[in-house]
Amino acid sequence: MTRTDSVVAIYPGSFDPITLGHEDVVHRTLRVADRIVVAVAHTATQSKELLFTVDERLEMIREVFEDEGNIEVTSFSGLLVDFARDLGAHFIVRGLRAVSDFEYEFQMAQMNRELWHEFETVFLTPDAKYSFLSASLVREVSRLGGDISRFVSPTVLQRLEEKHGE
Ligand code: PNS
């Protein structure tokens, strides 16, 4: 792993779409890292029905963090370990909302370390008010006409409304 003066974290995920819980994890990461790269994966481990294209997700995330110079937004294909190594990142960060997240996260962290022994995963817990929040629930509630304005940034809310033809 390359060491540089500034500490760089990668926050990988599907972000379909980015929620206030994700945003909270990004800002918490910047308490322990100088720079964070929010990385939208072209390939997710758990198969899911995606609502937004990778480009749409990137646009939304860039809009959310547009004024924050230490937050970079990109996408990656292939293995996360390869992306992290190429970038010279010091660790990846994942949010842990509840014990139910642990098994999946633990498996991924261990597999990633098998693939690259220097790989470090740091788990951060979002604010308790986001502990129930997931992108899949946001998609579903939005699709069924519920109010999700408390759970996503205005730009994401607008995109969801456009998708669902409101
Ligand atoms: O938000 P998600 O869908 O839970 O994020 C999962 C993600 C994207 C971090 C994971 O699927 C991933 O790392 N995908 C890249 C491909 C890869 O490296 N797979 C092996 C993981 S052990």
Mean pLDDT of all residues belonging to the chain: 94
> What pLDDT is attached to residue 98?
87
Other Cβ atoms less than 10 A from the Cβ of 113: the count is 14
Continuous segment of H or E residues that includes residue 12:
strand 8-13
Structure confidence by residue, pLDDT tens digits, 78-111 = 999 999 999 999 999 999 998 888 999 999 999 9
Q: What is the sign of the dihedral through the CA atoms of 72, 33, 31 and 11?
A: positive
Per domain, the residue ranges of the chain are 8-163
Task: Please tell me the class of the 8-163 domain.
Answer: alpha beta
Decide if pLDDT at 120 tops 90: yes
Structure confidence by residue, pLDDT tens digits, 33-53 = 999 999 999 988 777 789 999
Structure confidence by residue, pLDDT tens digits, 121-154 = 999 999 999 999 999 999 999 999 999 999 999 9
Other Cβ atoms less than 10 A from the Cβ of 162: the count is 10
State which amino acid sits at residue 151. F
The minimum-distance atom of ligand 1 relative to the CA of 135 is 1
pTM for the complete prediction? 0.95
Decide if pLDDT at 68 tops 90: yes
The minimum-distance atom of ligand 1 relative to the CA of 82 is 18
**Any residues with Cβ below 6 Å from ligand 1, and which?**
12-14, 41, 43-46, 79-80, 108, 111-112
Other Cβ atoms less than 10 A from the Cβ of 87: the count is 16
> What pLDDT is attached to residue 76?
97
